Structure 1
Amino acid sequence: MTSNQIIIFASGSGSNAENIVNYFSNKRSNHKWLICTNNPKARVIERAKKLQIDYKIFTKDELYNGSILNCINSLNPELIILAGFLLKFPIEIIDVYNKKIVNIHPALLPKYGGKGMYGMNVHKAIIKNKEAVSGITIHYVNKKYDEGPIIFQKEIKINPSYTPNDLANKIHDLEMEYFPKIVENLLTL
């Protein structure tokens, strides 16, 4: 029996978190949500309040000393989603929740992945290298940054006139369109 609990980890604005919750709300799902953030100033907190869902602010120490694992275990989540979460996820959690933790990355992995490759860092590198395409990758989380098994990728062509901001906006549109649908597919497996 599944718990219907979904936990989303985010460090920033939380637009993906809000989009996923709204997607399921519109489908009248009975999922329970918890948003976890390591950033007490993250905009995702305001989004959680607006959505009237629970949230938890934690320290880096709590993430790595077992406190967050204990919290997760108490909820028995169906899925853990990393949506703009900038800390390396603890191996202890990955071991317990293998193939139940997914991440979204703003590039076509394996290119432009790894430590330090997030947000605008990715888009700047792609534009600087004059890549012809970019996209999103949704993948399972494993012990290495951005190297887990790929679940889904969506590619777009890059107009040579794009700035990193232009590319970021196009990638964000892909995230908004596809991330909730892929999460839904994973929940029905």
Structure 2
Amino acid sequence: MSSSSPSRRLPVAVFLSGTGRTLENLLTRIAEGSLPLEIRWVASSRPDVRGLQIAQDAGLEHSVMRRREYASTADYSGALFEACRSHGVELVVMAGFLCRVQIPSDFHNRVVNIHPSLIPAFCGKGYYGDRVHRAVLEYGVKLTGCTVHFVDDEYDHGPIIAQRAVPVMEGDTVERLAARVFETECQLYPAVLAAIAEGRVRVRGRWVEVTGDQP
């Protein structure tokens, strides 16, 4: 990522498919002044989801981009990223976006995602939402957590930027564990995005270095 002026807000797009809780969290942090982002565009893969209502209520430009309306993943990805370019977007923030995309060369290491486990555990195709937490409980691991990573053309595969662990408690349910992991996500994701916006993230192959305050 290129360096940024401390007073500059990084122009981003947010891709979502559901409730918009992550978008809501980011908007709160932006309003508080702790997250130097400017959300230029919100894309949803589904109509009539709460995330679109959150975008509308915040006065954000938003669109429904349905995968089924495009002949291929390449066509769908092309439409998404062309819209990002037209909005002057420099970083794409995945926020519960459930469609696979192909990353164009000009957005290499400019698309980020948060996954509700400690990658490479409990990740990949089919691992999303409560499916992740259910698998964690069924396996019996003692630690789970969340991972922020750059997105490439494979599921949950790009370079890892930061991770935080969340203990699995005896008697946990999917709902309880999911709530604790999401609480941690709400802290980690804005911290990583702030580091990117401030030009404190460097990528060397699969190794990502964050200078200054650690997420």
Q: Does the alignment reach a TM-score above 0.5? A: yes
1:150 aligns to 2:147 (yes or no):
no
1:47 aligns to 2:59 (yes or no):
no
Letter in 2 for 1:180: P
Structure in which a larger fraction of residues adopt helix:
1
Percent of aligned positions that are identical? 26
Matches within 5 A, 1:42-81: 42-60=49-67, 61-62=69-70, 64-65=74-75, 66-81=78-93
Q: Distance in 2 between matches of 1:30 and 1:127?
A: 35
Aligned to 2:101: 89
Q: Distance in 2 between matches of 1:23 and 1:73?
A: 25
Query: Which stretch of the first structure deviates more once superposed, 126-135 or 50-59?
Result: 50-59
1:126 aligns to 2:136 (yes or no):
yes
SS in 2 for 1:115: coil
1:31 aligns to 2:43 (yes or no):
no
Deviations 1:122-148 (A, max 9, x none): 000000011100000000001110010
Q: Distance in 1 between matches of 2:79 and 2:15?
A: 15
8 Å Cα contact 1:79-1:187 kept in structure 2: no
* TM-score of the pair, normalised by structure 1: 0.92
Instruction: Structure 2: give runs of 5+ residues left out of the alignment.
Output: 200-215
* TM-score of the pair, normalised by structure 2: 0.81
1:88 positional shift: 0.5
1:13 aligns to 2:16 (yes or no):
no
1:102 aligns to 2:115 (yes or no):
no
Instruction: Structure 1: give runs of 5+ residues left out of the alignment.
Output: none
* Segments of 4+ moved more than 3 angstroms: 1-4, 61-64
Aligned to 1:114: 124
Deviations 1:8-41 (A, max 9, x none): 0000101001111221122185724311101002
Q: Distance in 2 between matches of 1:175 and 1:154?
A: 8
Residue 102 and residue 89 in structure 1: after superposition, are their counterparts in 2 closer, same or farther (change >3 A)? same
Q: Distance in 2 between matches of 1:34 and 1:183?
A: 16
8 Å Cα contact 1:7-1:35 kept in structure 2: yes
SS in 1 for 2:177: helix
Letter in 1 for 2:32: N
Q: Distance in 2 between matches of 1:156 and 1:89?
A: 29
